[in-house]
Amino acid sequence: MIRIGILGDIGSGKSYVARRFGFPVFDADSEVSKIYRKSRKCFKKLKKIFPKHIFSFPIKRKELFSAISEGKNNVKKINKIVHPEVRLRMNKFIKKNKKKKAIVLDIPLLLEGKLDNKNDILIYVEAKKKEINRRLKKRNNFNLKIFKKLRKLQLPLEIKKKKSKFILKNNFKSFSVENSVKILKNRIFKNERSNT
């Protein structure tokens, strides 16, 4: 089974690209949302650390945002609780799909959280800054202060780009993205055949 990891800036369209491959996708953002909605264990831990901010279950974004805004290291504290849960879910996902030809890992902190494998095929999604900012402002939960804190947790984009085997330019036109993904899939599987 081939593991494809999708890297890129926040708002560069990583999830959109991940879904175009047609393989099972592990979407970490979606899993984190589920954890906030369904995990009482996670809620209790967060409530203990942030009694002034986290009050109700399921955990509200608004409460999380106020905790993040309050302190410099609060994002790290939240990640310390949430990341082990994400890793568990990722391992279950991999196990469940082990007979598939390939899987796609759409995990914003794939490298930072050491969730990658040395054999992963990393693809960097590149988009124009102007386009990214336009898309982010459209998000109903966009908060510049929080966005800057989340960005600080990430490795510099240049490093992610350097570590990637392929770069996919996303101009947010579906036909062009579909075409780029098709070309990449051919290259990935051609490579795989020549290595076996």
Pick from 182, 146, 184, 141: nearest CA to 165: 184
Q: Which of 9-23, 83-97, 114-128, 145-159 has the lowest mean pLDDT?
A: 145-159
What confidence tens digit (pLDDT) does each residue in 16-37 have?
A: 999 999 999 999 999 999 999 9
Going from N- to C-terminal start, the domains of the chain cover 1-24+102-196, 29-96
Computed over every residue of the chain, the mean pLDDT equals 89
d(CA 120, CA 186) in angstroms, rounded, equals 16
pLDDT band at residue 164 under the 50/70/90 scheme: very high
Residue 144 has pLDDT above 90, yes or no: no
Instruction: Copy the structure tokens of residue 65.
Output: 């945002």
Count CB neighbours of 164 within 10 A. 20
Residue 182 has pLDDT above 50, yes or no: yes
From residue 65, alpha-carbon distances to 47, 77, 147 in Å are: 14, 13, 10
From residue 130, alpha-carbon distances to 11, 22, 42, 106, 107 in Å are: 11, 29, 36, 23, 23
Write the CB contacts of 168 (distance below 8 Å, at least 6 apart in sequence): 17, 123, 124, 125, 126, 177, 180, 181, 184
Architecture of the domain delimited by 1-24+102-196: 3-Layer(aba) Sandwich (3.40)
